[in-house]
Chain A
């Protein structure tokens, strides 16, 4: 199984301070990587798919990148509404595997 190591587990950032969340895949997943945001009591919402493609309706302050097996989600000038838990998901091989999540608090 492919292991997705997500970091950090939690993060407190100031409004306007760029935030970066990372997922390290244990092997090459060829950009089959998605990022989700989840708010309390809600289902995860897709932000980024195929590592770098912005999902419909997602603000452009969200972006994804890849360097080898390391994948990053960047939130530029985050807003209060960006608080939540963020997950990465690799869908290159079965079983799909998720990162452990990053809890983002904005102050």
Chain B
């Protein structure tokens, strides 16, 4: 059974940083692209980042480009999202995903002073 468990969320002040982790199990982690998707409170879904199998290629929307960095550790079956220069509009639940099929339960990030 595929499991994706996100951690690292919480309350952070604007301009500060936060790093999310997602530990994967139940599949061969190193064979899959991984993704982060977010959902602001009461809003729709937004793709945040993608990373290929060896971590050599990463992708971001303009809304987070230059501030967020996705990375992975295939030995630890973990994907990360380093979030810098956080803004109030980054407040959301962040989901880790293995393709379109398997998503984690999400972790809440609140950016507020």
Contact = CB atoms under 8 A, between A and B. Distances in A.
A49 B105 CA distance: 19
Interface stretch (A16-24, A63-71, A95-103): A95-103
A94 B47 CA distance: 9
A8 interface: no
Given A94-B50, A96-B35, A46 B44 contact: no
Taking residues whose C-beta sits less than 8 angstroms from the other chain, chain A's interface range is: 10 to 19
Nearest to B62: A95
A55 interface: yes
B95 interface: yes
A104 interface: no
B66 interface: no
B7 to A, nearest CB: 15
Interface stretch (B14-22, B78-86, B96-104): B96-104
A98 B45 contact: yes
3 closest cross-chain pairs (CB), A and B: A96-B47, A34-B100, A98-B45
Interface of A: 34, 43-44, 46, 49, 55, 87, 89, 91, 94-101
Given A95-B47, A96-B47, A101-B44, 12 more contacts: A34-B101, A43-B95, A43-B104, A43-B106, A44-B45, A46-B102, A46-B103, A87-B45, A95-B59, A96-B35, A96-B37, A100-B44
